[in-house]
Amino acid sequence: MTCQARSSYMDTEVLWGHRFTPVLTLEKDFYEVDYNSFHSTYETHTPVCCAKELAQSRREGQLLGPLPS
């Protein structure tokens, strides 16, 4: 079976605040791959700033507002 791996992406391909849907399940002592959801993502609660800015705002006691839903 052929497999393609990339280590860089275009900025239009990156979905901020998304994670890949799990594709591996353990079925009767072997792993099964669900290729139908291989490219599927789901949205997660993610800050709209970088980690450095988030840490700084927490140290200063500032609130950045609600996370996106």
pLDDT digits (tens, 9 = 90+) for 24-45: 999 889 999 999 998 899 999 8
- The answer to whether residue 27 is domain-embedded is yes
Higher pLDDT, 32 or 1: 32
Q: What is the mean pLDDT of the chain?
A: 84
Is there a domain that residue 6 lies in? no
Residue 41: inside a domain: yes
What is the model's pTM? 0.55
CA distance 24 to 28: 13
Stated as kind and residue range, the H or E segment containing 53 is helix 51-59
Is residue 4 assigned to a domain? no
The answer to whether residue 9 sits within a structural domain is no
Domain with 19, as residue range(s), is 15-60
What is the average pLDDT across 3-11?
81
Q: How many domains does the chain have?
A: 1
**Within-domain flag for 24:** yes
